[in-house]
Amino acid sequence: MSLVSVHNEWDPLEEVVVGTVRGARAPVAVGYAGRTEGAAGACHGRRRDAAPVLWPDRVLKETEEELEELCEELRGLGVTVRRPRTRDRAACADVLGRTDDGRRPRAGLLTVGDTVIETPTALRARFSEPFAYRELLTEYLVSGSRWISAPEPRLTGAMYDLGAPPGERLREREPVFDPANVLRLGTDLLYLVSDSGNELGARWLQSAVGGTYTVHPCRGLHAPTPLDLTLLPLRPGLLLTNPSRVTGGNLPAVLRSWRRIECPEPAGPGGAGDAPHRSTWTGTGLLVVRPGLVVVDGRQRELMRVLERHGVDVLPLRLTHSRLLAGGFHGLVLDVRRTGALETYRF
């Protein structure tokens, strides 16, 4: 029986992969038109051939302890938790500085139904990230799951239009997108067209998942990534939205009948001494454990109050350095299996 089965963002979790920061490095931009996030900042087209930067041991130790706390809480809720194998720092980057440290499983892997998809990232520094999970992917394949990889993008300089407005800087030379560009709503897949995913990426994804699913390209929502910090389904018919990005005019048509909760202005997460490499909205990256229960950054007290007013229980946990490490709970966890069947949610 396939160990992989995910149809949406909210069905009760059965199995997840939680990333690790052991040996983690900050990615760097690689050559002309490199684009990355993290210690180098958002970098479009500026040449920064540099060695990967090691994060402070204190940051890695605190974060790994917090991830283990997340794992224990999930196990206590009956969820099977898998982790990538530990890698030494020297093995976590190739000669081009591309990392595969296992920090964010959702940075290169997307689960749809019984299939794991290795996505064609537009960020050169992320090229090797799925390698940290190859042993787990092989195990899932043997269990009966499908495992497919998108065509490896060349990511030449011609791929990037650095003078274009934000959200339009990827040319249509080849398919590229990140898993964070996609949200699963049963037979409907939302796809963010942005600086991390182009129109060809949406076409490739549609061809990969077949006629059972409809991929909905979403334009004009948010220029960079990810989609989960812009809108996130909490259960059928209930949606958390980022009011700084989502309006009645740009909300995807398939969601316009859903009830919306506007996310309050987030507290600015970050540990002492952290440089703010990501938006404060990183702290709103929720993990839906089941309808009615979400994991949330414990510093987001106003968000927790809003969720509870709408009948959503919260499990507050720590993720002190989420902005420095460029990932909230949603990005650091790959949902491998959720209960439930494939349905269509159009109200």
CATH of the domain at 147: 3.75.10.10
pLDDT of residue 52: 54
Q: How many domains does the chain have?
A: 1
- pLDDT bin (cut points 50, 70, 90) of residue 148 is very high
Kindly state whether residue 6 falls inside one of the protein's structural domains.
no
pLDDT of residue 26: 64
**Strands, E, within 158-312: which ranges?**
182-185, 188-192, 214-218, 231-235, 238-241, 259-262, 287-290, 293-297
Kindly state whether residue 5 falls inside one of the protein's structural domains.
no
pLDDT(245) > 70: yes
pLDDT of residue 96: 45
pLDDT of residue 223: 79
pLDDT of residue 47: 38
pLDDT(337) > 70: yes
pLDDT of residue 123: 86
Q: What is the mean pLDDT of residues 252-279?
A: 77
- pLDDT bin (cut points 50, 70, 90) of residue 292 is very high
pLDDT of residue 142: 98
Kindly state whether residue 174 falls inside one of the protein's structural domains.
yes
pLDDT of residue 236: 97
Kindly state whether residue 7 falls inside one of the protein's structural domains.
no
Domain that holds residue 299: 13-338
Kindly state whether residue 173 falls inside one of the protein's structural domains.
yes
> 257 burial class (0-12, 13-18, 19+ CB within 10 angstroms)?
exposed
Kindly state whether residue 266 falls inside one of the protein's structural domains.
yes
Kindly state whether residue 347 falls inside one of the protein's structural domains.
no
Kindly state whether residue 176 falls inside one of the protein's structural domains.
yes
pLDDT of residue 151: 95
What are 173-227's pLDDT values in tens digits?
A: 999 999 999 999 999 999 999 999 999 999 999 999 999 999 999 998 887 767 8
Contacting residues for 3 by C-beta, under 8 A, at least 6 apart? 15, 139, 140, 143, 144, 145, 336, 337
